[in-house]
Amino acid sequence: MVNSHADRLKIGSLTGKTGIITGANSGIGLEAAKVLAQKGAMVVMAVRNEEKGHAARETILKMHKDAKIEVMKLDLADLASVRAFAKDFSSRYTSLDLLLNNAGVMTPPYSKTKDGFELQFGSNHLGHFALTGLLLPLLKTTPHSRVVTVSSLAHRGSSILFDNLDGSKGYKAMKFYGQSKLANLMFAQELDKRLKEHGIQTISLACHPGVSATNLFKFGRSEAPKLFKRMMNTVLQPAEMGALPTLYAATEPSLTGGEYIGPNGRGRVRGYPSIDTPHFVANDEEAMKKLWELSERLTGVEFDFTK
């Protein structure tokens, strides 16, 4: 079924536009891909599991037989994979209108990425940081391009644990998830600031889905029990609604960069998208600058802001 909620956003034709969505095989990423494809965009589904990616692609093609969709391998927990993806994409495409940094892992047992980073910080933040930096040359040369990074309400009251980023001094899954989502939000804001300082027309925005019933909700490594999932689906908004802030951030003409978009309902948990206000912890300019410099050092990716 087409996302009828998205009709309220009045998204115009995206024919001729090219977009990348990380984690596009399920949840919010898949819902966003459906709408962008329906509107005529060329959608690249950047996914870790290519089999699931192709199954998701078939789902979209059954809805829109003329949809332009490609599946490409991307493992955000492996910087070599991030580099390979960026190189492959840049060799095949001459423009990039939308980069949706959507994929995420939530509250896994303590584990690390291929490069030795704590999994949530490494995948949710560092992987997307590196991907954006590597694709910046294409973004810069594409008129009115946008980077949208998905954060979370979990950023509220979180902090960047600069003295324990790898979790070696203690690990609490939810605390480290909040850290990764705060890092996403700080990155989106700092990126927009730097783009504007260098006179680059690309804009960066952040968004959050409220609380959505997506497959991020897992217990350990196993799916949530069916009874719990049914309960979640009645209390929380569905992925079709959770995707609206992402779609709004990606397409709303009035946005100028630096905004944080979320649902407009009570507690910002449900509803239709509007501009939200980040928790004050996300406005620490010193921490944002420190996080940026640390991220460049850890990933080996430096952003080239020259025109």
Q: Give the span between the Cα atoms of 261 and 243, in whole angstroms.
A: 11
DSSP three-state, residue 116: coil
CA–centroid distance for 238 within its chain: 18
> What is the per-residue burial (b if ≥16 Cβ within 10 Å, else e) of 191-227?
bbbebbeeebebbbbbbbbbbbbbebbeeeeeebeee
Is 171 among the catalytic positions? yes
| Active-site residue (options: 93, 110, 171, 272) | 171
Tokens of 109: 């047992």
Q: Give the span between the Cα atoms of 216 and 213, in whole angstroms.
A: 8
Report yes or no: 216 and 239 within 8 Å, Cβ to Cβ.
no
Whether the CA torsion 157, 162, 165, 170 is positive or negative: it is negative
Q: Give the span between the Cα atoms of 70 and 170, in whole angstroms.
A: 40
Contacts of range 72-75, beta carbons closer than 8 Å, 24 or more positions apart: 72/44, 72/45, 72/46, 72/47, 73/46, 73/47, 73/48, 74/22, 74/46, 74/47, 74/48, 74/103, 74/131, 75/48, 75/114
275's enclosing H/E stretch is strand 273-276
- Residues with active-site annotation: 171
